[in-house]
A and B are shown apart, each in its own frame.
Chain A
Amino acid sequence: MKSTLKKAGYNKVQKQVHDVFLQFTAKVVFFIIILFAFKLFFAGHYTPGGGFVGGLLAAAAIILLLIAFDQKTVEKVIPIDFRLLIAVGLAFAAVLPTLSFFFGTPFFTHQHTYVNVPVFGEVALHSAVIFDIGVFLTVAGSALLMIKLIAEEDA
Chain B
Amino acid sequence: MTLIHLAILLPVIAAIGIGVLYRYYRRIHLGWFVLPVPLLIVIYLFTLIPRVMNGQVIYETMQFMPRIGMNFDVYIDGLGLLFAILISGIGALVVLYSIGYLSTKENLGNFYVYLLMFMTAMLGIVLNDNVVMLYLFWELTSISSFLLIAFWNTRDRSLYGALKSMIITMFGGFLMLGGFITLYLITDTFSIRGMIDALPMIQESPLTPFAIVLILFGAFTKSAQFPFYIWLPDAMEAPTPVSAYLHSATMVKAGIYLVARFTPLFAFSNLWVWTILIVGLFTMTWASFNAIRKDDLKAVLAFSTVSQLGLIMSLLGLGALSLATGANDELFTVAVVAAVFHTINHATFKGALFMITGIVDHETGTRSMKRLGGLLTIMPISFTMTVITALSMAGLPPFNGFLSKELFLEAMITVLNADFGAMASVDFLIPLVAIVGSIFTFIYSILIIYGIFFGERTHNTPKEPHEAPALMLISPAILSLLVIVFGLFPNILSATIIDPAAMSIMASDAPLGTHLAMWHGFANPALWATIAIVIIGSVMFYFKDKWMFIYDYHKEAFTLNYLYDQGLMYSRIGSQKITDGYMTGYIRNYLVYIFGFFILMGLITLMNTGLHMDFSNFASVGIQEVILSLIVLIATAVILITRSRMVAIIMLGSIGFSMALFFVFFRAPDLALTQLAIETVTTALFLVCFYHLPKKSRHEERMRFKFTNFIISLGVGVLAIVIGLSAFSNRLFEPISEFHIENVYDLAAGGNMVNVILVDFRGFDTLFETFVFAIAGIGIYGLMKLKLKRKDEDNEEHAEESRI
B690 at the interface (CB under 8 A from A): yes
B557 at the interface (CB under 8 A from A): no
- Which residues of chain B come closer than 8 Å to A105, judged between CB atoms? 63
Contacts A44-B752, A48-B673 given: A106-B770 contact, CB under 8 Å? no
Decide if A56 touches B681 in the complex (CB within 8 Å). yes
Decide if A50 touches B759 in the complex (CB within 8 Å). yes
Interface string of B59-80 (1 = CB under 8 A from A): 0001111100000000000000
- How far is B745's CA from A124's CA once the two chains are assembled, in angstroms? 12
Contacts A57-B677, A86-B774, A143-B681 given: A93-B690 contact, CB under 8 Å? no
Decide if B759 touches A128 in the complex (CB within 8 Å). yes
B24 at the interface (CB under 8 A from A): no
Contacts A4-B690, A106-B64 given: A134-B673 contact, CB under 8 Å? no
Decide if A106 touches B63 in the complex (CB within 8 Å). yes
Contacts A108-B764, A149-B784 given: A131-B681 contact, CB under 8 Å? no
Closest to B751 in A: A46
| Interface residue from B669, B674, B771 paired with A56 (Cβ < 8 Å) | B674
Interface string of B409-444 (1 = CB under 8 A from A): 000000000000000000000000000000000000
| Interface residue from A40, A45, A93, A154 paired with B770 (Cβ < 8 Å) | A93
* B718-764 residues at the A interface, CB under 8 angstroms: 748-752, 754-756, 758-760, 763-764
- Which residues of chain B come closer than 8 Å to A52, judged between CB atoms? 674, 758
| Interface residue from A5, A94, A102, A131 paired with B759 (Cβ < 8 Å) | A131
Decide if A45 touches B756 in the complex (CB within 8 Å). yes
Closest to A132 in B: B759
* B668-697 residues at the A interface, CB under 8 angstroms: 669-670, 673-674, 677-678, 680-681, 684-685, 687-693, 695
Contacts A53-B677, A63-B681, A94-B767 given: A1-B759 contact, CB under 8 Å? no
| Interface residue from A45, A83, A132, A142 paired with B751 (Cβ < 8 Å) | A45
- How far is B781's CA from A86's CA once the two chains are assembled, in angstroms? 12
- How far is B62's CA from A126's CA once the two chains are assembled, in angstroms? 23
Contacts A102-B1, A110-B759 given: A139-B784 contact, CB under 8 Å? no
- How far is B688's CA from A107's CA once the two chains are assembled, in angstroms? 41
Closest to A112 in B: B749
Smallest CB separation, A100 vs chain B (Å): 9
Decide if B681 touches A4 in the complex (CB within 8 Å). no
Smallest CB separation, A34 vs chain B (Å): 13
- How far is B748's CA from A41's CA once the two chains are assembled, in angstroms? 17
Decide if B770 touches A138 in the complex (CB within 8 Å). yes
- Which residues of chain B come closer than 8 Å to A149, judged between CB atoms? 780-781, 784-785
* B754-803 residues at the A interface, CB under 8 angstroms: 754-756, 758-760, 763-764, 766-767, 770-771, 773-774, 776-778, 780-781, 784-785
- How far is B689's CA from A53's CA once the two chains are assembled, in angstroms? 23
- Which residues of chain A come closer than 8 Å to B685, judged between CB atoms? 146-147, 150
Interface string of B124-154 (1 = CB under 8 A from A): 0000000000000000000000000000000
- Which residues of chain B come closer than 8 Å to A9, judged between CB atoms? 695
| Interface residue from B62, B673, B678, B752 paired with A45 (Cβ < 8 Å) | B752
Closest to A108 in B: B763
Smallest CB separation, B653 vs chain A (Å): 13
Contacts A138-B774, A141-B777, A145-B777 given: A50-B688 contact, CB under 8 Å? no
Choose among B680, B774, B776, B784 the residue with the greatest number of A CB atoms under 10 Å from its CB. Answer: B774
- How far is B688's CA from A57's CA once the two chains are assembled, in angstroms? 18
The tally of residues in A whose CB lies under 8 Å from a CB in B reads: 62
Closest to B670 in A: A48
Contacts A4-B690, A112-B749 given: A48-B784 contact, CB under 8 Å? no
A7 at the interface (CB under 8 A from B): yes
Closest to B646 in A: A10
- Which residues of chain B come closer than 8 Å to A56, judged between CB atoms? 674, 677-678, 680-681
- Which residues of chain A come closer than 8 Å to B66, judged between CB atoms? 106
- How far is B674's CA from A48's CA once the two chains are assembled, in angstroms? 10
| Interface residue from A5, A101, A142, A147 paired with B690 (Cβ < 8 Å) | A5
Smallest CB separation, A154 vs chain B (Å): 5
- How far is B766's CA from A108's CA once the two chains are assembled, in angstroms? 12
Decide if B688 touches A1 in the complex (CB within 8 Å). yes
A135 at the interface (CB under 8 A from B): yes
- How far is B785's CA from A128's CA once the two chains are assembled, in angstroms? 35
Smallest CB separation, B699 vs chain A (Å): 16
Decide if B749 touches A147 in the complex (CB within 8 Å). no
A47 at the interface (CB under 8 A from B): yes
Closest to B685 in A: A147
Closest to B747 in A: A110
Closest to A67 in B: B684
Closest to A92 in B: B770
- How far is B756's CA from A151's CA once the two chains are assembled, in angstroms? 36
Closest to B758 in A: A50
| Interface residue from B65, B673, B684, B785 paired with A106 (Cβ < 8 Å) | B65
Decide if B670 touches A49 in the complex (CB within 8 Å). yes
A-B contacts besides A107-B64, A138-B774, 8 pairs, CB < 8 Å = A4-B687, A4-B688, A46-B750, A104-B63, A124-B749, A128-B756, A141-B774, A149-B780
When A and B form their complex, which 7 residue pairs have the shortest distance between CB atoms, in order from nearest?
A142-B777, A46-B751, A56-B677, A48-B669, A106-B63, A128-B759, A151-B688
Interfacial residues, chain A to chain B (CB-CB below 8 A): 1, 4-5, 7-10, 40, 44-53, 56-57, 59-60, 63, 66-67, 82-83, 86, 89-90, 93-94, 97, 101-102, 104-108, 110, 112, 124, 126, 128, 131-132, 134-135, 138-139, 141-143, 145-147, 149-151, 153-154
